[in-house]
Structure 1
Amino acid sequence: MTASTDALRQQRRVRELSAAVTRALAADPSIHLRQQHFFKGNQSLASYAPHLRLQPEEQLEFLRGVADSLAIRLQYSDQTLHQSHLPDDPLARLVFDWLESLRTESLTPDTLPGVKANLEKRFYYWSAGFHHAGHTQSALGILLYTVAQMCWSRLMGRPVYEETEDLIEATRASINAELGTALAGLRRDRHNQSNYIPHALAIAHVVARSVEQALANKKKQNTDEDEDEASQDAFALLLDLDAGQEGAIHTAESAQSEVFSALKERYAIFDDQFDRVIYPADSVRPELLEEYRERINQRIAAQHIPFPLLVQRIRRALERPLGERWEWDQEEGLIDGRRLTQLISSPMERRLFKRPQPLIQHQTSVSFLIDCSGSMKVHAETLTMMVDLLCKALERAGAQTEVLGFSTQAWNGGRPYRRWRATGRKPHPGRLNEVEHRIFKEADTSWQHANRAIMALLKLDLYREGIDGEAVQWATERLLAQSSARRLLYVVSDGSPMDSATNLANDDFYIDNHLQQVLGQSQALGVEVCGIGIGLDLGQLYQHALIADLHKGLDNHFIDDFIQSLRGSRR
């Protein structure tokens, strides 16, 4: 067993233990942890509170605080009442939800001293991490951080994080007059959620207005210092626009196809003469593409996502080590044990150290394959924003990107289906629709030149049915034709493959089973395939799967998960 396997097992064990603690404390056996989120059955328990956001490699002593906080909240918070008062503004929503988590934490009974200690340790852990990451160096960061410290201290009756007590003093003094009444109400009404809500809303709206004004002032300055901006705006990535708390995360269904098995897993196509590959942008008026582009630009701007930081995080995720190689004879680094004798014989010698060679970034190709079936229409705008933003960031980070799509040319089979019926309805005919594969952006075309063509994803009359397996096969072939050392394919879909004519003539899981066969082949060819489920878990179909809930905008939990998926297996 390798050290990395040990680490993975330990990490899984840590999470299992934390989920078990939450189940016990909340007296609810349906609670579990999946993809760095707690769930009650299929209902997400994720909190907007930044201090409760899980990291990929969370230590048990700090993860316990998250688990305990969620369990306490299940006991002391009326979620229906809370949801009915959530503000529309993303930042106000974050602060309001954060204050509810802090309220319930403050209600932890004295009979649970261990839980109290875990909660305090978690908040101080977050405080240290936020401060040491440099986020308190900007006006925006220090404002949000100070409000968090003031509210936590008032509710818990505990001192603020000692290391930053002097740092926040000026900001605390400047906002105390505006927040004073609401702050007093937090402690006074913490046992009554209905009475507490107006105070929390008042603070949330004050913070949102202050941040909006700060962003407007910064925009007027129009600076180009990307790295400084990235550091200053890092807190924006903590905004949780996840709408998943209002609905269940479903799982894509999959089962064995009797027809596929009877045919010895040989996929059949009844008639492929009508299949085609198109460039959707060619069928959209340039003026309409420009209008779409402007709409997406406005949506992206409204998210307040610090683009330079996003690029930096992606670049780091794509880096790969050279291996066990060292730079010798260095004046700083790690002591080279082989040269310790020289320290005695030549006291003035300084080149006694070694350093690991820096990480390098292999050329990476990332392809997004979009399911353009009819049910995806409702997600088209947010989906376009997500793909556009990620493509731009990936290219800025040094990766090559491609945006592809797949659908059919007709509903209910089209010409192949009619021909099958006219020729006697041969049993188990295989695929019975006209496949249409789409190229929105080619790998050798930069985002700068293709960003309007990507907007053709908003042409809703292009969305029909979906035959996933052939599309994955096609996208894999395109990736393999590229010279990159690493190839990643993200299949974006809201469910299992669906073509009504093919399903009726074969069975419900015929094209589903073909997809699973193709996924295995793609992985064997060295393509890293990941399913991105829009509002559902594609884990039944894809070995690696992410969940993106797009109902209220771009899900920043998903951005974190996406960046983590770029890391893959470090070798």
Structure 2
Amino acid sequence: MRPTAEQEAAYRRLSERAAPLAKKLERVIRRTLEQKRIAPRGDRLFGRLDKRLTRAVIEEAPRLFYKKRAPVPQIDAAFALLVDCSASMYDKMDETKQGLVLFHETLRSLRIPHEIVGFWEDADRVTEQEAPNLFQVAVDFGSSCASGSGTALLALEPQQDNRDGYAIRLMTERLLRRAERQRVLLVFSDGEPSAADYNDAGILDTCEAVLQARRLGLEVISVFLAAGQVHETQQLTMRNIYGRSSVVVPDVSELPEHLTPILRKLLLKSIF
């Protein structure tokens, strides 16, 4: 569906607001790349001869060679941003969209392929035999790095229920089809799985889906933009499901600060 003029104008406003944060996040990532490029590459058994030749006398098996500075490394990664579009997100969706714009513009500027997908369950159509789960691809991998590709994410809106474990398993399958070395799933949610016969069991099922994705080689990170005060119970729920790879912040302006250490660690694995 083609974005409306109002959505395009709204996206411009959001991207302008997110620009300073996106630049900050991009600088951190580029600095990580540069540090990887200029990191010492000495103590080798072959290469160029190091000037510190005294080690040939004082060390039993000295490594006297080094390798010259490597070319600028590349990021071999793909990101999937899964967005909880359940009714409980109604008071957090605006803040979540700002976070999505921040990520989209940062990844787009770095030419990192990504997709943004909203999910929810249609409670009106749930039966004993079927629980219809719907997925809305707002940004796809093929066009994610194109100018103006993020506008459609503004069409994501709170709907009804959310069966997080099922959505994470489906996104895991999609990401596993990607050929990149590092594949990252970011789950934007308030950590409250809620659907028919899924309330208490939903937390356990979601946790199992996260563990399964990690066993298959994916990195899974939760992002909860609370749009206000963060309650201790919310933090505990997110930690129980996602472990240490959970980011809970009351305002999107704090997102780069909390997420940067996690992203730096992940991206260092993807650099070649």
1:2-56, CA deviations, whole angstroms, 9 ceiling, x for partnerless residues? xxxxxxxxxxxxxxxxxxxxxxxxxxxxxxxxxxxxxxxxxxxxxxxxxxxxxxx
The structure with the greater share of residues assigned to helix is 1
Matched residue, 2:201: 510
1:232-286, CA deviations, whole angstroms, 9 ceiling, x for partnerless residues? xxxxxxxxxxxxxxxxxxxxxxxxxxxxxxxxxxxxxxxxxxxxxxxxxx3xx63
Percent identity, please: 22
Q: Is the 8 A contact 2:184 2:219 kept in 1?
A: yes
Q: Is the 8 A contact 1:319 1:362 kept in 2?
A: no
Between stretches 441-450 and 523-532, larger displacement belongs to 441-450
1:498–1:306 Cα change, 3 Å: closer
1:466–1:530 Cα change, 3 Å: same
Give the letter aligned to residue 479 of structure 1. Answer: L
1:297 to 5, 12, 15: 12
Q: Is the 8 A contact 1:336 1:353 kept in 2?
A: no
1:465–1:311 Cα change, 3 Å: same
1:496–1:318 Cα change, 3 Å: farther
Q: Is the 8 A contact 2:80 2:114 kept in 1?
A: yes
1:309–1:416 Cα change, 3 Å: closer
1:368 to 81, 86, 92: 81
Matched residue, 1:395: 108
Q: Does 1:549 align with 2:256?
A: no
1:120-139, CA deviations, whole angstroms, 9 ceiling, x for partnerless residues? xxxxxxxxxxxxxxxxxxxx
Matched residue, 1:490: 186
Q: Is the 8 A contact 2:143 2:149 kept in 1?
A: yes
CA distance in structure 2 between the partners assigned to 1:306 and 1:533 by the alignment: 17
CA distance in structure 2 between the partners assigned to 1:378 and 1:446 by the alignment: 27
Q: Is the 8 A contact 1:469 1:516 kept in 2?
A: yes
Q: Is the 8 A contact 2:79 2:184 kept in 1?
A: yes
Q: CA deviation at 1:567?
A: 2.0
Q: Is the 8 A contact 1:318 1:566 kept in 2?
A: no
Q: CA deviation at 1:359?
A: 6.7
Q: CA deviation at 1:374?
A: 0.8
CA distance in structure 1 between the partners assigned to 2:260 and 2:109 by the alignment: 14
Q: CA deviation at 1:519?
A: 0.9
1:286–1:530 Cα change, 3 Å: closer
2:218 to 507, 510, 527: 527
CA distance in structure 1 between the partners assigned to 2:209 and 2:35 by the alignment: 28
Matched residue, 2:144: 446
CA distance in structure 2 between the partners assigned to 1:522 and 1:306 by the alignment: 29
SS at match of 1:482: coil
Matched residue, 1:279: none
1:98-139, CA deviations, whole angstroms, 9 ceiling, x for partnerless residues? xxxxxxxxxxxxxxxxxxxxxxxxxxxxxxxxxxxxxxxxxx
Q: CA deviation at 1:566?
A: 1.1
Matched residue, 1:329: 48
2:96 to 383, 391, 397: 383
Count of matched residue positions in the alignment of Structure 1 and Structure 2:
246
SS at match of 2:143: coil
Q: Which has more radius of gyration?
A: 1
1:205-243, CA deviations, whole angstroms, 9 ceiling, x for partnerless residues? xxxxxxxxxxxxxxxxxxxxxxxxxxxxxxxxxxxxxxx
Give the letter aligned to residue 298 of structure 1. Answer: R
CA distance in structure 2 between the partners assigned to 1:337 and 1:358 by the alignment: 27
SS at match of 2:241: coil
Q: CA deviation at 1:449?
A: 4.8
Looking at both structures, which has the greater relative contact order when contacts are Cα pairs under 8 Å and sequence separation is at least 6? 2
CA distance in structure 2 between the partners assigned to 1:340 and 1:436 by the alignment: 66
1:468-515, CA deviations, whole angstroms, 9 ceiling, x for partnerless residues? 01111111111111111101111111122111x224xxxx32232221
For residues 241-252 of structure 1, the aligned pairs below 5 Å read none
Matched residue, 1:312: 27
TM-score normalised over the length of structure 2? 0.77
CA distance in structure 1 between the partners assigned to 2:40 and 2:205 by the alignment: 41
For residues 199-348 of structure 1, the aligned pairs below 5 Å read 282=1, 286-287=3-4, 290-302=5-17, 305=20, 307-317=22-32, 321=36, 325-326=41-42, 328-329=47-48, 335-337=51-53
CA distance in structure 2 between the partners assigned to 1:366 and 1:318 by the alignment: 18
TM-score normalised over the length of structure 1? 0.39
5+ residue gaps in structure 1? 1-281, 342-351, 421-428
5+ residue gaps in structure 2? 58-64, 227-233
Q: Is the 8 A contact 2:83 2:118 kept in 1?
A: yes
CA distance in structure 1 between the partners assigned to 2:148 and 2:11 by the alignment: 16
Q: Does 1:408 align with 2:99?
A: no
CA distance in structure 1 between the partners assigned to 2:191 and 2:101 by the alignment: 22
Q: Is the 8 A contact 1:497 1:511 kept in 2?
A: yes
1:392-449, CA deviations, whole angstroms, 9 ceiling, x for partnerless residues? 211222321110111012x3xx3342xx3xxxxxxxx7xx531112211111213425
1:361–1:408 Cα change, 3 Å: same
For residues 75-94 of structure 1, the aligned pairs below 5 Å read none
CA distance in structure 1 between the partners assigned to 2:179 and 2:73 by the alignment: 17
Matched residue, 1:268: none
Structural RMSD (CA): 3.1
Matched residue, 1:433: 131
Matched residue, 2:169: 473
For residues 68-107 of structure 1, the aligned pairs below 5 Å read none
CA distance in structure 2 between the partners assigned to 1:534 and 1:310 by the alignment: 17
